[in-house]
Amino acid sequence: MSARQQAYAALRICWFNGILPLWRTPLLVAAVFLTPFSFLFFLFVITAPTNPALLPFGVMGGILFSALFTGNGMLNDCAYLRLERQLQTIFVASPVRPLTYLLGMALSELAFTLPALAMFLGILDLVHPYGPATLGVLLGVVVLTWLMASTLGFLISTFFHQLREIWPIGTLVFSTLSILPPIFYPAGVIPARLQWAAFLVPSTFAGQLADHALGLTFGPALSPSVLNSPWLDLAGLAGATLLFGGLALRLARWRDP
Amino acid sequence: MEALVARQLTRVYTGRGKTVRALDSVDLSIEKGRLFAFLGRNGAGKTTFIKVAATLLMPTSGSVTLLGRDVVSEAARVREEIAVVPQEGRPFFHLTPREHIYEYLRVRGFASETARDRTDELVRAMGLTPFADTIAQMLSGGLQQRTLVAMILATEAPFLFLDEPTLGMDPFARRQVWQVVRRTVRRGSTVLLTTHYLDEAEQLSEELAVIEDGRLLYRGTAAALKSTLHREIRLEFGPGLQAKELEPFGRVYAERTHLVLLTSRSNVRPLTELALERGSEVTMGPVTLEEAFLELVGRPIEEEEGSA
């Protein structure tokens, strides 16, 4: 199969594994939307009366949470199709390349998340209006975050033999990526001597980059000062995306060892 | 020309302090355009063989070449030529049988017209027409399995692996699958099939192999395997006769309340007369592939005890 046919195959996988089920079971969108919206709701209840400046951070957190949790969806769906339905087998034993399958599955997860992303972007525009250039940057951050999370989800999914082992792993990994680091809240609220530690979690770069694009600041500048550079955030996010993508293509068990 | 050649193929599973030799120095070749059946008990090594040959699992040692290419070093090229019905696979729950076949063909690079034609053909041939537009979630297990088999057969890939393809299907559906498999072979595909239905192996395969504990026990035709029994008749006796009375005439074992004797044609008349004398009903038929298979790999212990 040519590269063009592989790209088309990825789109078809997205069509029948992402868009068709969404069309037939719209309730799936609600499931994807519910968790980040719950966080946002609590943040709104807690912060809005006393500190409304925190609200845009929370909405941006909802956007990044949605993008990051495509990784959890990827992990669970890939594991389910491989272990419970044996369907990954029929793609392995075919001209479909691992990258094609990975991309097709990742696009499926994105399809599930798109309505939630659109809604959060709309809410963000209401609480913190932004222009087209900022929207472009935000979409770039979302795409990199989605790719990073999806490749990580795919990689992990290939190492397990039981679905019940995977569920807690997914929750652990993707909650660590999306709840602990400064995604829903500004990095400035972390004690100064621990701020560098937040950057050990790659999703921090996504959160910081988005905050820079939106011009969101809260509290004193981060310490050390290099942590305030958007270029560091871009390099960190792109680097993590490339790293997880490379690891997924190199280490994921397309064929069992 | 040979479509598949396995040489000294060995696969060892290790984990949790245990080592299992699932394939042990297996040598096997399958001619191009043949329908080859792989028989064996659960855990004998059939699926492991398919997984290695279909580039799903690495061998521990030995080699497999498929259509002239090594399945380890040239896996991507091999994958262009194969399709697999996995054991106990299940289709996507939200797609219809028609969508399954069409989408899988499109993903594999078929043009839309070809994919549509083949989808229509397979839906008809596999008896899926009444259910073609019902989502798989609403279909019975047998219909879901038929959908999965149809997806794979529609590819008409040069080499098809069918791992227990008719599991859970009713006798009508099994025969429909047999017909499509035969047609696919006539069109040039080579098929490696595993099954626990020995009638299926006998009906479909031109050649078969029996594997036990990872080792190849037999390779040849079904007829030749049956001839290894040296007893061509199967007599089944109702209550009234003792196993020890029949033992001098051949191989005896118990099957529920009946005794089964595998014997030669010359013993039929005296044994039938003996049964009539005792008022025991007797039925006669040719030995089956199942008899030959059981004889080759060894009968379950309870049956051995039953005949004692």
B254 — contact with chain A (CB < 8 Å)?
no
* Same domain as B68, residue B131: yes
For residue A76, being part of any structural domain is answered with yes
A123: containing domain = 3-251
Q: What percent of chain B has pLDDT over 90?
A: 67
Residue B100 has pLDDT above 90, yes or no: yes
* Same domain as B180, residue B40: yes
Which chain A residue has the Cα nearest residue B100?
A16
Between CA B110 and CA A191 the distance in angstroms is 58
Query: Of A141, A155, A152, A171, which Cα lies nearest the Cα of A236?
Result: A141
* Same domain as B245, residue B196: no
Which of helix, strand or coil describes residue A193? Answer: helix
pLDDT of residue B230: 81
Helices (H), B154-204: 171-186, 198-204
A171-187 exposure pattern, b = at least 16 Cβ within 10 A, e = fewer: eebbeebbeebbbbbbb
* CA distances, A229 to each of A57, A130, B240 (Å): 18, 21, 95
For residue A16, being part of any structural domain is answered with yes
Last residue of a domain, one of B178, B211, B226: B226
For residue A240, being part of any structural domain is answered with yes
The domain tally of chain A equals 1
| pLDDT tens per residue across span A59-100 | 999 999 999 999 999 999 999 999 989 999 999 999 999 999
* Same domain as B219, residue B100: yes
Interface of A with B (CB under 8 A): 1, 5, 8-9, 12-13, 15-17, 20-21, 24-25, 84-87, 89-97, 104, 255-257
For residue A256, being part of any structural domain is answered with no
| pLDDT tens per residue across span A154-192 | 999 998 888 888 888 988 998 889 888 999 888 888 888
- For A50-59, A197-206, B56-65, B180-189, which range has the lowest pLDDT when averaged over its residues? A50-59
CATH number of the domain that B145 lies in? Answer: 3.40.50.300
For residue A15, being part of any structural domain is answered with yes
B79 — contact with chain A (CB < 8 Å)?
yes
pLDDT of residue B299: 56
CATH number of the domain that B283 lies in? Answer: 3.30.70
B57: containing domain = 2-226
* Same domain as B40, residue B149: yes
Between CA B57 and CA B42 the distance in angstroms is 18
ipTM above 0.95, yes or no: no
Query: Any idea which residue has 């909802």 for tokens?
Result: A62
Between B238 and B15, residue with greater pLDDT: B238
Residues 6+ apart with CB under 8 A from B227: none
Indicate the Cα dihedral angle A164, A90, B153, B98, nearest 10°: 70
pLDDT of residue B113: 96
* Same domain as B71, residue B216: yes
Between CA B145 and CA B150 the distance in angstroms is 9
Residues 6+ apart with CB under 8 A from A25: B94
Residues 6+ apart with CB under 8 A from A116: A29, A32, A33, A36, A37, A62, A66
For residue A217, being part of any structural domain is answered with yes
Last residue of a domain, one of B193, B226, B259: B226
For residue A106, being part of any structural domain is answered with yes
Between CA A139 and CA A154 the distance in angstroms is 22
The domain tally of chain B equals 2
